[in-house]
Structure 1
Amino acid sequence: MLPQDLDTPAPHPLLGRSLASFGDRTALVTADEEISYRELSLRVARTARGLGGGRRFVLMVGANSVDAVVTYLAVLAGGHVPMLVPDDDAVIASLTAAYDPDVVCRPVGGRWRTTQRRPGSATVLHPDLGLLLSTSGSTGSPKLVRLSYDNLRANAEAIAEYLGIRETDRAVTTLPLSYCYGLSVLHSHLVRGAGVVLTGLSVADACFWELFRRARGTCLAGVPYTFALLDRVGFAEMDLPGLRYVTQAGGRMNPEQVRRYAELGRRRGWDLFVMYGQTEATARMAYLPPDRALMSPEAIGVPVPGGDLRLEPLDTGDDPEIGELVYRGPNVMLGYAECPADLSLGRTVHELFTGDLARRRDDGLFQIVGRRSRFAKVFGLRLDLQRLEAGLEADGVRSCCVATDEQVVVAVEEGARAGTVRRLVASRCGVPVRAVRVIALPELPVLTSGKVDLQAVTALARGETPATPAPPADPAGVDLRAVYAELLDRADVTDDSTFVGLGGDSLSYVEMSVRLEQILGPLPVGWHTMPIARLRAGAAEVPAGSRRRRTLDTTVALRAVAIVLIVGTHIQLFTVRGGAHLLLAVAGFGFARFHLADVPHRRRLRHVSSSIARIAVPCMLYLVPVVLLDSSYSWQNVLLLNEALGPRVGPQRDFWFIENLVYTLLALLALLALPMVDRFERRMPFALPLGLLALGLAVRYDVIPVSPWDHLATPARLFWFFALGWAAGKATTVRRRLLLTVLAPLTVLGYFDTPLRESVIIIGFTALVWLPHLPSTALVNRVAGALAGSSLYAYLTHWQVYPLLDDHSKLAALLAALAVGVAFGAAVDRATRWLPRRQPVTAGRSDPPD
């Protein structure tokens, strides 16, 4: 990217300064590492040398990863010409065939791969050519935008200037680098020596917001679709103390929504920048100053520094104040390319006719009022489809309008009343109702940039199958969305859905991970936060041979092993204690993973409440006939009050684990109900469990004494096991994992004065902290999944099962107890599915940790 970073100066510096000149400032942040500008400079230099001498044409995937960023900067640093594309096999194949690049760089099987297709270059590249991008809406089309090094540098500087980017800023990637808006975030922050947080997570994923806080994010960029997701996840209620500004571009956003976010930003202390741009102008052409967003939310604002906007009169004569918006500035592209020969061309465009119709208001702000290409004639009437969409959006209907010769076709999301929409459109367009057709879709189709896919809607209007079918082919011929819908009992599953976003819990996690592992092979770390489309794409890249190597989620393995140890020890087939206490730590880990998602406060509380009910209600119902038939138990057991009321000896203590788990969750429900605690957890997700762990250890070491009659296994004394697991679930850095790895043996050793029991807990907890997956086989996965998914119910029922066979065969007693537990768990799950289906706005099935 920058010539000073290489042994041989590159001919075209992008930003006009050296990466290394920013020294030890943080350049890139991921979930696993931070990279300084000095280190980034060295990596770029090494990668650039590996690309060889002479200018070459490089097709590369614009992914939000360190490998992709380093490669992109290295390609520019070496004076080569990158063509940034999305990570899509069809797009890559199409553009490779059309342009015959010299080098292809892309992720394959989870690893970054650079393929040298030939030495040197087969393409003549103009000296000014610096970058190729697909035009908006034409991904995979051979028509590309030719951008120069000067275009990139000028637009990066202009954006950094009007946003006031500081060296302390850290922007989190919400858009792919193959999209000009996402790429401009990288450019504008690098030019100021600021940081960029790289992630492919959606803003709908809880892990995205955990990373945002942990990385001290200050900037957030979004297209209108992003803001729709922000509304769904309760962004307005999130506590983001580091957030300094939010930017919006990539299409028109409803003025009322602009005003709402501007007001939210004013209350919360951050600015909203509404921006306007096109790929043909590198990224940005205009912006709306934050102080104007409340009063003029419908405007695109003023030209970016160094640019100029004017209006080209129309030949229609309708309104002399309205003209086509024309932009001139140093960021205007060189021109288009439609074949390899076009890459040798110099500048063919000097100003950009945007195709947007606009007017300049009395306050000096520009406002888009329509688009030339979005006009259509139906029944001889000239219709502005963009204005029609804006009117429907003002009525609360998100739509995409297209037209045929005799019809206006309106695609809407399910929930809109088709008859009402037809009458509204007919009235506003002045056409008969029969000339309006409404197509209801689960969601409007969108491009990777987040914009509505007009081509797909047009194809639907013509009765054709869209060019990119909604249900792509899944591995092994299985529809992953159907699997999610079945196991999570949801009817609103899309390719953008994630396990956590659909309300997945620890019990469904077990079944889902085993099922997906059978279909996809080894699952990536954090799969539960990944969209289904990303899981499918990742599986498609893995060679068939490696897909046969099975793995097992560590939490599933620990739960399966623990319940076998618990039941086998009670039967006295062997004596290996510690499984129940290890399960408490695994429960804490699950609590951190599934209950503390970035959702509104009330939704969190509902999730924990329903989780408690999912544990308590089946257990209480099971214990009613047990108490009636066996005098060893009492009503305290049915009501799960034996730990609170006693006695704490004899058979009535058989269910201590279940009671302790319920009590712990009830206490945490009360704690998280306090808004102050909820806000603190969102800001400091690792500090809260660490503080509660310290409190639990104070009880464990009798610094905080409990009553003399309290037995060892009371909630107060056992809470620190749960807190250890909770902290492990939030230990996202190596330093935090090391802290817990040292802390666990120090606190466990000496607690029981039984080395084997303590070793079971320490070894299991260490695996929980460091090993997301364990090597396995398909058979082991099926057995472990069944045992882990029913571990709570096997613990509940085994007390009544094993005595029936204990005298005949202890092994048979063990197998029978586990089998009954699995059957009872299946019955509970089936009964749950018979209940009325939950509405999509809820978190989905609740999460009983164990």
Structure 2
Amino acid sequence: MRRVTLLPAPPTGGHALPFAHGLALHGDRTAFVTSEGKISYRELADRVADTARKLGPGRRMVLLPGANTVDALVVHLAALAAGHPVLLVPGDHPEAVEALIDAYDPDVVARPAGGVWAIEERRPGSAHVFHPDLALLLSTSGSTGSPKLVRLSYENLQANAEAIATYLDIRDTDRAATTLPMHYCYGLSVVHSHLARGAGLLVTGLSVADACFWELFRSARGTSLAGVPYTFDLLDRVGFADMDLPHLRYVTQAGGRLAPERVRHYAELGVRRGWDLFVMYGQTEATARMAYLPPELTTSHPGAIGIPVPGGSFSLDHVDEAPGDDVGELVYSGPNVMLGYAHSADDLALGRTVDALRTGDLARRTEDGLYEIVGRRSRFLKILGLRIDPQQVEAMLERYGLSALCTGDDEALSLAVVRRPGWDVRRIRRRVVDECALPPRAVRVHIVAEFPRLPSGKPDYPAVRALGERPAETPDHGGSGPDDLCALYARVLDRTGVTPDSSFVGLGGDSLSYVEISLQLEQRLGGLPANWHTTPIRELAPREPQGANSQTRHRTRLETSVALRAIAIVCVVGSHIRLFEIRGGAHLLLAVAGFNFARFLLTSAERRERVRRTARSIARIALPTMAWTAFALLVSDDYDWTNLLLMHNALAPQIMGPGIHLWFVEALVYILLVTLALLAVPAADRAERRFPYGLPVVLAGLGLLTRYELVGLPERSQITDAVTVFWLFALGWAAAKSRTVPQRLLVTVAGLAAVPGFFPGEPRREAFVAIGFVLLVWLSTLPSHRRVNQAAGALAAASLSIYLTHWQVYPIFDDVSEPLALVAALLFGIGYSTAVTRLTRWTGQRLRRVRREG
């Protein structure tokens, strides 16, 4: 029997945080490595001291949206060094930020504004009374945005940093990558433990799935990686096992259970490649870490969490639901146990209310002195009188090669299972029914492409539970409840697995589907909520009637972008028929396209997902165009092969005639392709995220160089229109990203200055484009009427199809009646759009059915 040796506790004490205010002691050693260069500890100390002076001498609460950037880390360290309690919140979750601002009323808010980090002082002093030990407030796992926070002390932070640095043997030559979010206790512990040893950090927000991450890791001589189970899934996908990483010393894993065979696989890989695997166990309530498995034991005990961290200890408390006499609830004691929870700002003055941490995990101690987790107290369910352990259900399915998350309530189990050939809902349900002796109606199975996850990468069990709150296939009855709206989103977006926590943008919605859903919501909810496209479905509720009379009807509004699309396409067709002369509609549509591109495609999703969605949007434009062009080739002489391939505008822009009819579609496709290529570059993707307003402004400036023919290009008639009209798309993009009045003013001035002279001798055309652009920038909605909304929505949703088909439709009726020709062209385009949409959805359903059956 092998005994393990516990390391001694590191020395700690006092109410200060040595590693935060002692940065300068490490001199010229490298503290941070970024894609832009290196920052020494001396330089970091100067920046921290300068920021600390800005925060002021008196203690104030500093709310900081966590981000893996130098600026965010500087503010964090400055606040800790100067004694200001820090409320660290998810930087990629604006709703959580606002919720915690409302709940805790911080004195200072530090966050990015206009591409730089700004310190917003909400009051000169503090509105709160703080306990002297209070250093940091963190959300618990799965409680993003909840007012319940973990209160951590300076001793907690220093003790846990020193303990981790001790058992990992962190050296001042080490360099760890920030592979996890800073606001997540595991990610923050990587930062703290390395700063405590004078080691370096590779500060990056790149995913391990990004090739640029590995370029930075190699060039910076990275020595360690930290990951949650999902990180290891990504490592498998990118071929980590075959990478040449000569300086890698160790890999750490925490944030959830990694299957024992995966632990053994990575431990053996480390032995072959010369690095160690540390499996760790922790909770936010223990600052970060409570246990680790020594690397030499990972292959022989891959299911264990190991031994307590230096300075900590475990005990097992008897509980009635324990599956054996040797199993009890795991209780941890140590200097890193939190002060307690905070539920409101009044709790900030509290001292220690917790001495030992009841983890909620059921564990046993092996003969070797190692601890193993065997279940979770709070996860046990009692369904129809039967006691069910969801973790055991997950383990059972794992034996069949299925990756599953299991949760539920008093009525049923809810499972999210990653799709695998040969397994469908019925077969999986049967396995669970047989294992748990539950009736089939109490087992709800949902096949998913991948698990829902929290920003930290941990499984999102509340989202899985939400999947189980409704049947997998919920009919859309046209109601306004969450289930009805989920069905609406699923139908229009042709998506499965829509939950009340889903949003339009999160589901990959684009400008083509935006119109249909927005009009449906207007009708069902009695009004279109602000920012509905980024709002979770569960937060969309019908509006109450306003005024003293409960029968008073709400004022109907129409989104400005929808109105402009409808007006512009009518003007395009009517002008081509010569029923009237209001030109400029196609150019206005380009600005609207840029506006919608920024709203729907430039989301917080990872780079690959944004690229995929942009490519899908291009396909939704290009494929129907090519299909219609092929038909037009059969029935007329309007087009040739260059039109069919969407290349006429590029190969023969100087040739006028019918071939030029599709210039708008070709220009839009070219612009989107170039934008796709740009954002596929990691550096450009990072620049857009850091400077969401600045990047399109710069691109608009470059576009204006071609607008004013300042770069030596041929005359406009000799080059593709995409080059000369790109500035309109970029200004629309910038308009969507404008957040302040000065930003909107700059975009407006640029548009109003650039439009005049672009259409020589056509002042009415220029006025039409300019007025439409100003409305787009300054007004999100316009007064309307329900029937106007229905008509505008149909026209806007079909605007591309109407533009595409009207060239062949209106001549049939033009000699009979120009108004009839206009109506016919509009109706035919709407019909073609509807047919394409239905065909696309049918094809998607067929493909999914084939994949399930295969």
Match in the other structure for 1:8: none
Task: Give the direction of change, closer, same or farther, for the CA distance of 1:646–1:150 in structure 2 (3 Å limit).
Answer: closer
- Contact 1:334-1:346 at 8 Å conserved across structures: yes
- Looking at structure 2, the residues matched to 195 and 594 of structure 1 have their Cα atoms a distance apart, in angstroms, of 29
Task: Give the direction of change, closer, same or farther, for the CA distance of 1:420–1:394 in structure 2 (3 Å limit).
Answer: same
1:718 matched to 2:718? The reply is no
The CA deviation at 1:570 is: 2.9
- Looking at structure 2, the residues matched to 197 and 571 of structure 1 have their Cα atoms a distance apart, in angstroms, of 56
The CA deviation at 1:48 is: 6.8
- The superposition leaves residues 454-511 of structure 1 with CA deviations (integer Å, 9 ceiling, x where unpaired) of 89999999xx99xxxxx9xx99989543442232132331244454553434422444
Match in the other structure for 2:536: 532
651-660 vs 289-298, greater mean Cα deviation = 289-298
Aligned counterpart in structure 2 of residue 507 of structure 1, from 505, 509, 512: 512
- Contact 2:678-2:684 at 8 Å conserved across structures: no
Superposed counterparts of 1:412-423, under 5 Å: 412-413=415-416
Task: Give the direction of change, closer, same or farther, for the CA distance of 1:342–1:356 in structure 2 (3 Å limit).
Answer: farther
SS in 1 for 2:496: coil
1:681 matched to 2:685? The reply is no
1:567 matched to 2:570? The reply is no
Match in the other structure for 1:275: 280
Aligned counterpart in structure 2 of residue 795 of structure 1, from 790, 797, 803: 803
- Contact 2:229-2:258 at 8 Å conserved across structures: yes
- Looking at structure 2, the residues matched to 514 and 172 of structure 1 have their Cα atoms a distance apart, in angstroms, of 41
Superposed counterparts of 1:575-724, under 5 Å: 579-580=585-586, 594=601, 598-599=608-609, 609=619, 611-621=621-631, 627=636, 633=638, 643=648, 652-653=658-659, 655-657=661-663, 660=666, 664=670, 681-682=681-682, 684-685=684-685, 717-721=720-724
- Looking at structure 2, the residues matched to 186 and 797 of structure 1 have their Cα atoms a distance apart, in angstroms, of 58
Match in the other structure for 1:438: 443
- TM-score normalised by structure 1 residue count: 0.60
- Contact 2:149-2:341 at 8 Å conserved across structures: yes
Task: Give the direction of change, closer, same or farther, for the CA distance of 1:210–1:727 in structure 2 (3 Å limit).
Answer: farther
Paired AA for residue 282 in structure 1:
T
- Looking at structure 1, the residues matched to 157 and 628 of structure 2 have their Cα atoms a distance apart, in angstroms, of 62
Task: Give the direction of change, closer, same or farther, for the CA distance of 1:143–1:371 in structure 2 (3 Å limit).
Answer: same
Superposed counterparts of 1:230-269, under 5 Å: 248-256=253-261
Paired AA for residue 157 in structure 2:
L
- The superposition leaves residues 208-233 of structure 1 with CA deviations (integer Å, 9 ceiling, x where unpaired) of 999999999999977557878x699x
Task: Give the direction of change, closer, same or farther, for the CA distance of 1:764–1:496 in structure 2 (3 Å limit).
Answer: farther
Match in the other structure for 2:7: none
Aligned counterpart in structure 2 of residue 492 of structure 1, from 472, 481, 497: 497
Match in the other structure for 2:549: none
The CA deviation at 1:837 is: 2.1
- Looking at structure 1, the residues matched to 484 and 386 of structure 2 have their Cα atoms a distance apart, in angstroms, of 44
Match in the other structure for 2:363: 357
- Contact 1:311-1:326 at 8 Å conserved across structures: yes
Paired AA for residue 486 in structure 2:
R
- Looking at structure 2, the residues matched to 713 and 514 of structure 1 have their Cα atoms a distance apart, in angstroms, of 40
Q: What residue ranges of structure 1 are gaps of 5+ in the alignment?
A: 1-10, 30-34, 53-57, 466-470, 541-546, 706-710, 844-850
The CA deviation at 1:281 is: 1.4
- The superposition leaves residues 173-192 of structure 1 with CA deviations (integer Å, 9 ceiling, x where unpaired) of 758x4x65576578668877
- The superposition leaves residues 229-266 of structure 1 with CA deviations (integer Å, 9 ceiling, x where unpaired) of x699x7779xx999999875332133455678889999
Q: Give the structure, 1 or 2, with the largest relative contact order (CA under 8 Å, sep 6 or more).
A: 1
Q: What residue ranges of structure 2 are gaps of 5+ in the alignment?
A: 1-13, 35-42, 471-475, 545-553, 689-694
Paired AA for residue 624 in structure 2:
R
Task: Give the direction of change, closer, same or farther, for the CA distance of 1:260–1:149 in structure 2 (3 Å limit).
Answer: same
- Looking at structure 1, the residues matched to 463 and 669 of structure 2 have their Cα atoms a distance apart, in angstroms, of 52
- Looking at structure 2, the residues matched to 786 and 435 of structure 1 have their Cα atoms a distance apart, in angstroms, of 43
- The superposition leaves residues 704-738 of structure 1 with CA deviations (integer Å, 9 ceiling, x where unpaired) of 99xxxxx9768x6334257667877998999x999
Match in the other structure for 1:829: 837
- Contact 1:566-1:579 at 8 Å conserved across structures: yes
- Looking at structure 1, the residues matched to 187 and 810 of structure 2 have their Cα atoms a distance apart, in angstroms, of 60
- Looking at structure 2, the residues matched to 119 and 143 of structure 1 have their Cα atoms a distance apart, in angstroms, of 21
Paired AA for residue 623 in structure 2:
A
- Looking at structure 2, the residues matched to 557 and 436 of structure 1 have their Cα atoms a distance apart, in angstroms, of 47
Paired AA for residue 390 in structure 1:
A
Task: Give the direction of change, closer, same or farther, for the CA distance of 1:808–1:609 in structure 2 (3 Å limit).
Answer: closer
The CA deviation at 1:151 is: 0.7
SS in 1 for 2:576: helix
- Contact 1:248-1:274 at 8 Å conserved across structures: yes
- Contact 1:744-1:762 at 8 Å conserved across structures: no
SS in 2 for 1:492: coil
- TM-score normalised by structure 2 residue count: 0.59
Paired AA for residue 681 in structure 1:
V
Task: Give the direction of change, closer, same or farther, for the CA distance of 1:426–1:574 in structure 2 (3 Å limit).
Answer: closer
- Contact 2:285-2:357 at 8 Å conserved across structures: no
Paired AA for residue 723 in structure 2:
W
1:481 matched to 2:480? The reply is no
Task: Give the direction of change, closer, same or farther, for the CA distance of 1:309–1:119 in structure 2 (3 Å limit).
Answer: closer
Paired AA for residue 395 in structure 2:
A
Aligned counterpart in structure 2 of residue 400 of structure 1, from 403, 406, 419: 406
350-359 vs 610-619, greater mean Cα deviation = 350-359
Paired AA for residue 413 in structure 1:
A
- Contact 2:706-2:724 at 8 Å conserved across structures: no
Number of matched residues?
Answer: 753
SS in 2 for 1:412: strand
- Looking at structure 2, the residues matched to 758 and 23 of structure 1 have their Cα atoms a distance apart, in angstroms, of 64
Paired AA for residue 257 in structure 2:
R
Paired AA for residue 415 in structure 2:
V
Superposition RMSD in Å: 7.7
Paired AA for residue 613 in structure 1:
L
- Looking at structure 2, the residues matched to 129 and 536 of structure 1 have their Cα atoms a distance apart, in angstroms, of 37
SS in 1 for 2:336: coil
The CA deviation at 1:282 is: 1.8
SS in 1 for 2:608: coil
- The superposition leaves residues 258-278 of structure 1 with CA deviations (integer Å, 9 ceiling, x where unpaired) of 678889999999998753102
Match in the other structure for 2:291: 286
Alignment identity in percent? 40
- The superposition leaves residues 367-424 of structure 1 with CA deviations (integer Å, 9 ceiling, x where unpaired) of 54445777899999999764553232242151437899xx9x7542367667765775
- Looking at structure 2, the residues matched to 744 and 337 of structure 1 have their Cα atoms a distance apart, in angstroms, of 50
The CA deviation at 1:331 is: 0.8
- Contact 1:309-1:325 at 8 Å conserved across structures: no
Task: Give the direction of change, closer, same or farther, for the CA distance of 1:793–1:747 in structure 2 (3 Å limit).
Answer: same
- Contact 1:334-1:347 at 8 Å conserved across structures: yes
Match in the other structure for 1:330: 335
- Looking at structure 2, the residues matched to 538 and 246 of structure 1 have their Cα atoms a distance apart, in angstroms, of 50
